[in-house]
Each structure stands twice: as structure tokens, then as C-alpha cells.
Structure 1
Amino acid sequence: MGSEDSPKINITPPEEKVGFSLTKEFLELAFDREVEKFSTKIGTNPGDNYLSIMHAVEVSFKGEQEPQYFMIKCYPNHSERRDLLDQIEVFSKEAFAYQDFLPQLKQLAVEREAEKIVDLSVAPIQAGNVVGIPSKFTLKPWSDENFILMTDIRKTFGFTMADRMKGLDFDHAKLVLEEIAKFHALTWAYKQKNGLDMLTNKYPQFKDTFYIHESLIQDYMPLLDQITANALKLTEEKLGDSHPACKSFKDFVSKDEDKDVVERIKRYLLEEGINEEEVESYLRIKPEQDDNYNREPWLLGTHGDCWVNNMMFLYNDEEPKKPVKVTLVDWQVIREACPTVDLAYFLFSSVRAPVRIPNLDELLRVYHDAFIRYCDALKVAPLPGFTIETLKRRFRRSEIFGLLIGLELLGYALKPPEESIDMDTVKSDQLMDLFATVVDGSDKNTLLQDEISATVLNLYEKGVI
């Protein structure tokens, strides 16, 4: 179909002979339409995407005057990163989310006559290929490459990314929390409709695939040690190493066997759910005894990687512009977990301390009210014992998870754009050396210092650490 001079981009490592180039033939197979012409360019800026590679594609179809815009997500050129993607199965997870599970959720909303209320925003998927799963691409030369082709919602609908350096203000955060609640409520209703105690019983894609991978964790530990040591150094420089919050933080991130950072993170991601008594034992100031407190785990489908780089916003035309819609993207880390894990992940990575700390109760109320509203629309009872008081209690113990994940993500989020790195240009065969280049210099980042020290001080004052 294509000619020798057709424009194309190579999406496989240059040293490998397998895979495919993005050609006219590929696009016509993907869209089942005749392509007049197309052009491609890199789809994201350095610092916006760390696992996969995104290419923006402009396509003119035969007989249509206006071009259409798409994004193709594919494997990076770096062999170690490709191996990581294979091990943690993020492409198969995301393909499953876009092509199977999210459409089921939207259909569920229709069945419950709630589609106008529980209108989950999803980027339209056009085509995809996951190695080992039959598709119309299987018999083609590119059959052993993973990719997802979707509508570019930036060019098509006007969505944009927020500034990861600034973080999200209250209006943005409110919109995101309502969208998270929407997804959570839909997955909870899905479980009830299908009589599922666990989503993972039906869909193994909802199992965590990173923190249970022992060899990856062993490779990851030195980098995490560096990140936590930098965070402690920044906090001590800001507050003074004799400050009780610094002493508490130092003890919190110590290498004692029962306080290992990775082990603590894993306690929030157990397949059977969080052991409330165990994680509350991590708190410096324990909650008051409540014999009526329901410790039954809350388990539903979560996004898993809900931070500012993985969401796109649509704004109104007024001045100053206000966000009116958000679409969550990058469904690569979906997992069944407590909803407070998603909330802590989002609030500690993407809402800076000056906004998050004074508004936390109101932000949790936004989520609580939205979750109740969406469950009501879907004609399903909420999670067992779901009240604003219980949500706050469970979120407080999940602030430990938020802090630990925040330490990892903030080094990336607050890296100045001029210092951002194209990871495919890094000359290293070691995966963790590669990721270490992204957080290099974080011990001198004043924005990072302000954020971490404010968070540590707040959590100390609340008795979390």
C-alpha cells in the first residue's frame, strides 16, 4: 500500500530487526480506511513520560478535507526499559483497560440509566496490539510489538496538561477527585453486579505487578534509599536537624527491618486489602479506641498512577479560565486496592502542600460526596461503613503511603523543565541508573525542599509520623 518514500517513524530499537515502522500500510490497517497522507512527531516533552514513548500522528483520510489527530504509545528504544515494561505488564494492563474494562463500565452506567451523571471521561481508543494476544495485526511484520493507538484529545477536543511544577489548585483537585470517585463507584458497582468478592478473581490485570516483583524491588532499593536520604537532608536543612519532626522523619525512614520503606508500601497494596490494625500501628499517635469501627477492607478498582502527568484538562472560555472536565490517561498501573490509596497517591504527588494541607478536609468531603452521589445513581450501596469520619480515618493511615510515594514522584514532578531528560538519550544499560539521572540534583531543589519539609512537618504535627 505504501511507497518507499512514505513518511515513517521507527518505534523499535535501532539494533533490532523486528517490529515495525509507522507507515501508511499500518495506519490503513488500524483505521480500516484509505490514508491520503500523514505526518508524525514526538508526542510529549521530556519529563512528561518515563515508561513509554508517545508519538503524535496527523492523518488525512481519502475524501476528507480536515485532518484527524492521534497518539501512538509504544515501547521505548532503551532495552532495559523495554524489559521492565514486559515484567510489570503495563501494556497488557492498559490495553485491557481501554479495550475491555472501561467500555464495560460505561455500558454499566447506561444500563443503570446513569450515563449523564456517571459520565466517565475516556480517551477514544482506535487500535492496539499486545504480544501474545491475537489481533488483526498478528500476522503482520509488526506483530511482536506492543502499541496503543488513540485519539489525541489535545488536538481533537482541546485538552491540555497542567503545570506539574505548580501542582493543582483547589478547582483542579476537586475535578480530579470527582473523576476518581466516578471510576471507583463504577468499579464497585461492577463488582456488586457480577457478584465478585475480588476483581482479581476475574481479571488478573488488577493485581499489582511491581511491588510483588522481588528482583525488580531489589534493583529499585538503592534508588529509593537515595531518594529518602535526599528527602531527609532537605528537611533537616529547612527545619533544622534538631527539630522533632526531623528526628521523627529520620526514624520513620530508617532501615530497621520492621520499618523498611518498600515493605511499608506493600502493606497498602496487598491483594486481600489493607490490614487496618497493622497499618494504624505505623502511626505515631494512634486513633482512639472505637469498638464499633468497621475494619472490613475497602477494595475496588483504582487507577494506580493518579498524578498530574496522567490527567488532561479542558477549560472554559472565560477569564480567568476554569477547568470544566478532566480525563485520566495512562491506565498502566490499574490495581484493586483501597480507594484511599488512590487519593493519597494523587494528593501527595499533585496538590502542593500550601493547597493540600489547609483544604484537606474539604477535599476529602468532595470525594466522599461524589462517591455517594455516583453510587446512588448506579443503584448500589456504598462501601461497607463508608462515612466521612471513616474516610478521614482511613485516609490518615494512608498518608504514610502518600508520603512514601510522594518522595518518589516529587523528584520527577518538580524537576525544572530545562533540566528534564530524554531518557532514550541516556547512555546506560542499567535501568535504575537511568531513572537516577531523572532525580539527579534533587538534593539542591528548593521547590522540592519546601514541599517535602512542609509535608513532613504537617504529618508530624498530626501524629502520622
Structure 2
Amino acid sequence: MDSEGNPEINITPPEEIGFSLTKEFLEKALDKEVEKFSTNIGTNPGDNYMSIMHAIEVTFKGEKKSHHCLIKCYPNHPGRREFLDQIDVFNKEFFMYQDFLPQLKQLAVDSGAEKIVDLSVAPIQGGNIVGQTSKFTEKPWSDENFILMTDIRKTFGFTMANRIKGLDLDHAKLVLEEIAKYHALSWAYKQKNGLDLLTNKYPVYRDFVYENEALWKDFEQLMDQMSDNAFNMTEETLGADHPACKSLRNAMNKESFNRMQKYVGKNGINEEEIESYLRIKPEQDKDYNREPWLLGTHGDCWVNNMMFLYNDEEPKKPVKITLVDWQVIREACPTIDLAYFFFSSVRAPIRIPHLDDLLKVYHDAFIRYCDALTVTPLPGFTFETLKRRFRRAEIFGLLVGLPLLNVVLKPPEESIDMDTVKSDQIVDLFASVVDGSDKNTLLQDEISATVLNLYEKGVI
């Protein structure tokens, strides 16, 4: 085991990655003469489902200090490869690292706000998207998709938080500041470039997950199984006659997928329609601004896609965060990112009593960053409006969060190496990941507390 608890397992690059990870390859990518290098597994089973990560330690000629990189690439499993192709994840992430995130950082510089809106981004050295040319050569490096980046764990000391435990208030506030930073930058980019929609300039910001009905059709049986688990767990905790159980069944019905689609539509959320899904509707307000909020969202804001840097004091506190895994970006309402984050990464005993305070952190940060970037915030953006829009986004958080928690709260000792699953079908792979969730008491407690809270608030 290494110092971070990762197994020291050597790999055979040509067979595992699909192209030769050679001295010549690294010299081209890193623009230095390589003395020696070695490779190990980059993540533990259960930490990454959308790709395979390999860690590289390289020493350059004339230097004594080693340098650490990660290469992110396609898995071997044919079902996973087909799934990744359908949702275009590598193209999205490479676009973000190579193109859009640098533009956002430059926007902050041009606005004189780089010390205030200092978005943290993991450096990349290069990559390849099949069918596209590379900035290093006139043709792609290989017939495989990959991204080569600095390993910010070994290089700077970043680490992941505990996904089972979830984030405490210090971590959650830091995350919300960073999400607000990215949201404000993407919103400022639209304003300063005269864009009604980001997708008009960058089609890669279209949603490729929920618009793919054929893909979700394949997952129907698995989704039904996870929904049944959620129902059973809630009934066991609250009692089958509790009205929250009936409300949960009404919320997670056969229309669930269509509802999720409505949250990520190209032209934003129809406020009136979405609020009709709430059990207790908000009060009528003739002055309420129903204009859609649309900006660049991360799309996958859960704890394993966040890397934290800590101070040297005891007890240690997080002082910096870097968002990683920009694979499912979409132009959408910012409350979608917030709901996804809260329901996946902040456990109910922290989230429920502190929700308003945490939303205020996001609200104040977004206003502060927009001011620094000299742009007007989103239309009608007030704290009360944010709370109202977040409340209806909690339905999305419920529909997405409950299935996701089956993965998030799976004990590490039960984690599955998905490339070892025999079936070629992606649905069977995910079924193996959630297998045994119906016996997970931590999952039961989290789901029951969440459902009860949403019922008491009149969301469901």
C-alpha cells in the first residue's frame, strides 16, 4: 500500500490502456527527456465508474525529483466503452480542461478579478479524442481516448473526503464557494460574449444523459429495483401507513424520467410546470420573475469528484478545493448542481438543519463573484428566489439522489471492479454495483430521513 492507502499494483500499459505508454510518448506529452517512469493503479474500486485511472511517476534527465501524473482512459469492458460513447464524456471533459476552463480563468484576469474568482483547476499535459486532431501533432496520438494530467494528490497534497461519512459544514461551505465561482464565471462568459445559450457556441454543453431515452429504457428495470428498495426502506423505518411513504411512491412513478428531463431542457426549467409537482405549492406572487436561470453546470457534483487541500493544524481543516471529472457538463439551472451535491454528498443530519445557511453561502458567493466580474447576476436572483427554486429542484435531487446513494454509500469492502464483471451489458454492471443495497442500514437511515424531511416540507 502507498501512503494514501492505494494498492501498489503494476500494470502493463499496452494491454491495459489500448496504446503504448512509452518513454517516447511521455517525452512528447511532457516536453522533457525522460530518465525513467513507472505506473500503478490510479484509483481504488468504487471511486471511479466512468473511466480508468493510472498513476505515473516519472523522473526527467538531470533532475532528482519525481513528477506525478494521471492518465485517464477508456475501460476495457465493451459495455462501459459503448456507454461512455453514448454520453460523450471524454469529449466533454477534454473540452473543459483544454479549452473552456482556461477561458474562464482568463476572463477573471481580464476582469481584474483573478484574486477573487480564482477557480482551481487541475493542470493537464495533453490528451486525445478519437476523430479530433491533437495540439501536439497533426493527427491523434492513438486510436484511444485519454487525458493526461498532473496528479494533484502526489504533487500538491490534495485528497478525497470520505464518501461514506459525507461532508461536514467546513467542507460543504468550501464546495459551495467553488461551485458558485464556476457558475458565476460561466454566467459572466455568456454575458460578456452576448450568448443567449452556451450551447449555441459550444454544443458540447448539451445534455447527453437525460436526452437519451433509449439509454434510459435499458435502465428501467434497474431503476425500478432501486426505487423498490427505497420504498421498502422508508416503510420499514417510518411504517407502511406513514403518509410520507405514499408521497414517495407518487414522486417516484413511471413519469420520473420525463420529470428529470424537464429539469435539464435546452431552454431551461418551466417554473410553473415544475412547481405543479410540489405537494404544497408556493404562494402566488405576481412579481415573481420566472425567467429561466441557465449557465454552465458541472453535472456530477458528488464527493468523489472533489479534491481537498488541508492546513497543517490539528484538527485539520479544508482550505482549498478542486472540482474534477468534468464529464457530464450541461447548460442548466444552477439549483440542479446544488440539489445533486446536497443529496449525494452531505448526509441528512448535517444537510437538513443547516440547509438555509448553506444556501446563503452559495447565494452570497455568487453575488460576490458576479460583482467582481462586473456582470449583473441571474434574473431575479435573490436569496428568497434561490430558496424557492432550490425547493422545486429537490424533486430532481430525490429522483437522482436516491439511486446514486446506492453507489455512494456502498461499503469500500464491497466495492466492485467493474472490468471483472462477466456480462457485456452496462445495466448488468451497474446492477452488480448496487447489489446488496437493500441490506445497507446506513443507506436506509439516509433515505428515510431525506424522504421524511421532503414530506414535512411539502416537496413530496
CA-CA distance at 1:140 after TM superposition = 7.5
CA-CA distance at 1:214 after TM superposition = 2.1
Asked whether the equivalents of residues 130 and 140 of structure 2 are also in contact (C-alpha less than 8 Å), the reply is no
Q: What's the C-alpha RMSD, in Å, of the aligned pairs?
A: 1.4
Instruction: Give the equivalent residue in structure 2 for 1:25.
Output: 24
**C-alpha distance in 1, partners of 2:253/2:81?**
32
**C-alpha distance in 2, partners of 1:137/1:233?**
54
Q: Does 1:430 align with 2:425?
A: yes
CA-CA distance at 1:136 after TM superposition = 5.4
**C-alpha distance in 2, partners of 1:188/1:300?**
5
- Taking structure 1 as reference, are residues 233 and 65 closer, same or farther at Cα in structure 2, changes over 3 Å only? same
CA-CA distance at 1:277 after TM superposition = 0.3
Name the stretch that deviates more: 244-253 or 453-462: 244-253
Instruction: Give the equivalent residue in structure 2 for 1:10.
Output: 13
Q: Does 1:180 align with 2:186?
A: no
Q: How does 1:111-150 map to 2 (within 5 A)?
A: 111-135=110-134, 143-150=142-149
**C-alpha distance in 2, partners of 1:225/1:123?**
37
Q: Deviations over 1:138-179 (max 9, x none)?
A: 677952100000000000000000000000001000000000
**C-alpha distance in 2, partners of 1:305/1:415?**
18
Q: Alignment partner for residue 308 of structure 1, among 279, 287, 303?
A: 303
Q: Deviations over 1:106-131 (max 9, x none)?
A: 00000001000000000001111001
Name the stretch that deviates more: 128-137 or 316-325: 128-137
Q: Deviations over 1:68-88 (max 9, x none)?
A: 000000000101111111111
Asked whether the equivalents of residues 166 and 346 of structure 2 are also in contact (C-alpha less than 8 Å), the reply is yes
Instruction: Give the equivalent residue in structure 2 for 1:373.
Output: 368
- Taking structure 1 as reference, are residues 403 and 203 closer, same or farther at Cα in structure 2, changes over 3 Å only? same
Asked whether the equivalents of residues 69 and 150 of structure 2 are also in contact (C-alpha less than 8 Å), the reply is yes
Name the stretch that deviates more: 97-106 or 212-221: 212-221
Q: Deviations over 1:213-255 (max 9, x none)?
A: 1221111211111111111111111111111111111222233
Asked whether the equivalents of residues 8 and 23 of structure 1 are also in contact (C-alpha less than 8 Å), the reply is no
Q: How does 1:333-352 map to 2 (within 5 A)?
A: 333-352=328-347
Instruction: Give the equivalent residue in structure 1 for 2:193.
Output: 194
Q: How does 1:72-221 map to 2 (within 5 A)?
A: 72-135=71-134, 143-221=142-220
State how many pairs are aligned: 451
Q: Deviations over 1:313-369 (max 9, x none)?
A: 000011100000000000001110000000000001000000000000000000000
Instruction: Give the equivalent residue in structure 2 for 1:326.
Output: 321
Q: Does 1:242 align with 2:237?
A: no
CA-CA distance at 1:10 after TM superposition = 2.9
Asked whether the equivalents of residues 302 and 342 of structure 1 are also in contact (C-alpha less than 8 Å), the reply is yes
| Partner-residue secondary structure (3-state), 1:222 | helix
**C-alpha distance in 2, partners of 1:425/1:60?**
32
**C-alpha distance in 2, partners of 1:312/1:306?**
12
CA-CA distance at 1:137 after TM superposition = 6.5
Q: Which amino acid aligns with 1:360?
A: L
CA-CA distance at 1:24 after TM superposition = 1.1
| Partner-residue secondary structure (3-state), 2:180 | helix
Q: How does 1:434-453 map to 2 (within 5 A)?
A: 434-453=429-448
The alignment-based identity, stated in percent, is 76
Name the stretch that deviates more: 28-37 or 172-181: 28-37
Q: Which amino acid aligns with 2:401?
A: G
Q: Deviations over 1:21-74 (max 9, x none)?
A: 211121111112111000000100010000100000000011111000000000
TM-score, normalised via structure 1 length: 0.95
Asked whether the equivalents of residues 20 and 142 of structure 1 are also in contact (C-alpha less than 8 Å), the reply is no
Q: Which amino acid aligns with 2:12?
A: I
**C-alpha distance in 2, partners of 1:87/1:253?**
25
Q: Which amino acid aligns with 1:449?
A: Q
Instruction: Give the equivalent residue in structure 2 for 1:269.
Output: 264
**C-alpha distance in 1, partners of 2:449/2:140?**
53
- Taking structure 1 as reference, are residues 337 and 11 closer, same or farther at Cα in structure 2, changes over 3 Å only? farther
**C-alpha distance in 2, partners of 1:142/1:86?**
19
Q: Deviations over 1:270-314 (max 9, x none)?
A: 010000001000000000000000000000000000000100000
Instruction: Give the equivalent residue in structure 2 for 1:232.
Output: 231
Q: Alignment partner for residue 350 of structure 2, among 344, 347, 355?
A: 355
**C-alpha distance in 2, partners of 1:253/1:39?**
48
Asked whether the equivalents of residues 299 and 338 of structure 1 are also in contact (C-alpha less than 8 Å), the reply is yes
CA-CA distance at 1:13 after TM superposition = 6.3
| Partner-residue secondary structure (3-state), 1:56 | strand
Q: Which amino acid aligns with 2:345?
A: S
**C-alpha distance in 1, partners of 2:274/2:250?**
17
Asked whether the equivalents of residues 117 and 372 of structure 2 are also in contact (C-alpha less than 8 Å), the reply is yes
Q: Does 1:290 align with 2:285?
A: yes
Structure 1 residues without counterparts, runs of 5 or longer: 1-6
Asked whether the equivalents of residues 273 and 298 of structure 1 are also in contact (C-alpha less than 8 Å), the reply is yes
Instruction: Give the equivalent residue in structure 1 for 2:3.
Output: none
| Partner-residue secondary structure (3-state), 1:283 | coil
Asked whether the equivalents of residues 74 and 146 of structure 2 are also in contact (C-alpha less than 8 Å), the reply is yes
Q: Which amino acid aligns with 2:155?
A: T
Q: Which amino acid aligns with 1:196?
A: L
